[in-house]
């Protein structure tokens, strides 16, 4: 995977678009840290690309929740304890 700085994107957009056509994906960095993924799409692949990205983000979020649950020991809660937590949150919302 190739990296492009925010500055290069701002100062040399034509060059970046040509690189994107060749590489198909570029990582945008700011201060040396990745901040975005630039990926080539077209009208035919746009919807499927968005769907795949959304699913991937949902999967990553679920994995993070599972890791946090293990770290906090919440993965050992019984079904009854989980239901009690859900009810308590619902009660606070009302």
42-76 tens-digit pLDDT: 999 999 999 999 999 999 999 999 999 999 988 89
- Mean pLDDT of all residues in 10-14: 96
Q: Which two tokens stand for residue 19?
A: 């690189």
Number of separate domains in the chain: 2
**Whether residue 47 is found in the same domain as residue 34:** no
Report pLDDT for 32. Answer: 95
* Enclosing domain of residue 71: 43-94
Q: Which two tokens stand for residue 11?
A: 């100062």
Chain Cα centroid distance, residue 33: 15
pTM of the shown model: 0.66
**Whether residue 51 is found in the same domain as residue 72:** yes
Report pLDDT for 89. Answer: 92
CATH code of the domain containing 27: 3.40.1620.10
Other Cβ atoms less than 10 A from the Cβ of 9: the count is: 18
Confidence band of 94 (pLDDT split at 50, 70, 90)? confident
**Whether residue 47 is found in the same domain as residue 86:** yes
In sequence order, the β-bridge partners of residue 4 are 28
**Whether residue 94 is found in the same domain as residue 81:** yes
Q: Which of 29, 53, 30, 33 is nearest to 41 (CA)?
A: 53
pLDDT in tens, 19-44: 999 999 999 999 999 999 999 999 99
Has residue 15 got a pLDDT over 80? yes
């Amino acid at each position: 995977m190739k990296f492009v700085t925010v500055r290069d994107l701002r100062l040399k957009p034509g060059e970046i678009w040509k690189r994107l056509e060749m590489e198909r994906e570029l990582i945008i960095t700011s201060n040396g840290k990745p901040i975005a993924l630039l990926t080539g799409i077209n009208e035919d692949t746009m919807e499927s690309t968005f769907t795949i990205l959304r699913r991937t983000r949902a999967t990553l979020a679920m994995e993070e929740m599972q890791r946090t649950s293990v770290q906090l020991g919440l993965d050992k809660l019984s079904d009854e304890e989980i239901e009690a937590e859900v009810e308590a949150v619902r009660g606070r919302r009302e």
